[in-house]
């Protein structure tokens, strides 16, 4: 067999294998659930037209049955709990605040997408977002676009990026020009 023909057959075999392994939403959900970790280190950058410069925080994400706990270590200690019905905050001095989502529906949308994405709950996210998955089991991304007009007023899109069963990057782009990029560290 001529080298050119052998090369063409190899290329077709690789292309066919890649197409056969394209990741779809149910497989990504299963992959994320199989690779779920209850605790992960993170770094988050918040950009906003209302901030003079981006704000970076670092700490640990802790997934619980009730929600997501964000333990910020830097720039200063504080804890945020993203629960199903409310947001709880605790400062370094022990001060506490709660915001019921009935009083802040926009905050609920942001908390819910973060909580569900980190937990790998794509089925839950699919109720509120059109999800487009790209890539393969080893390297993938998912773009989430809001379905409802109410959510579209708050969020432009959410981008999930990962490797294997691990979510590595979560990018939330809001309509007012704010953007939060959370990198989950290995």
Domain of residue 111, CATH code = 2.50.20.10
Instruction: Lowest mean pLDDT of 10-14, 50-54, 92-96, 169-173, name the range.
Output: 10-14
What's the CA gap between 91 and 76, in Å, rounded?
A: 9
Are 63 and 49 within 8 A, CB to CB?
Answer: no
Residue 157 has pLDDT above 50, yes or no: yes
What's the CA gap between 157 and 178, in Å, rounded?
A: 11
Mean pLDDT of 116-136: 92
Residue 26 has pLDDT above 50, yes or no: yes
Instruction: Lowest mean pLDDT of 15-19, 38-42, 123-127, 133-137, name the range.
Output: 15-19
The answer as to whether 5 is a domain residue is: no
The answer as to whether 6 is a domain residue is: no
Could you tell me the pTM of the whole model? 0.84
């Amino acid at each position: 067999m001529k080298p050119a023909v052998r090369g063409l057959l190899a290329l077709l075999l690789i292309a066919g294998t890649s197409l056969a392994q394209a990741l779809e939403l149910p497989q990504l959900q299963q992959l994320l659930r199989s690779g779920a970790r209850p605790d992960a280190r993170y770094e988050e950058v918040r950009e906003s037209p209302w901030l003079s410069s981006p704000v970076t925080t670092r700490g640990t994400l802790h997934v619980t049955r009730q929600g997501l706990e964000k333990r910020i270590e830097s720039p200063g200690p504080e804890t945020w709990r993203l629960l199903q019905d409310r947001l709880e905050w605790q400062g370094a001095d022990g001060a506490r605040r709660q915001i019921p989502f009935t009083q802040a529906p926009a905050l609920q949308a942001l908390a819910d997408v973060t909580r569900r994405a980190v937990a790998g709950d794509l089925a839950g996210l699919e109720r509120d977002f059109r999800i487009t998955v790209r890539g393969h089991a080893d390297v993938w991304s998912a773009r989430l676009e809001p379905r409802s007009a109410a959510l579209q007023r708050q969020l432009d899109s959410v981008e999930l990026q990962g490797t294997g069963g691990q979510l590595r990057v979560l990018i939330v782009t809001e309509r007012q020009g704010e953007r939060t990029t959370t990198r989950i560290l290995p």
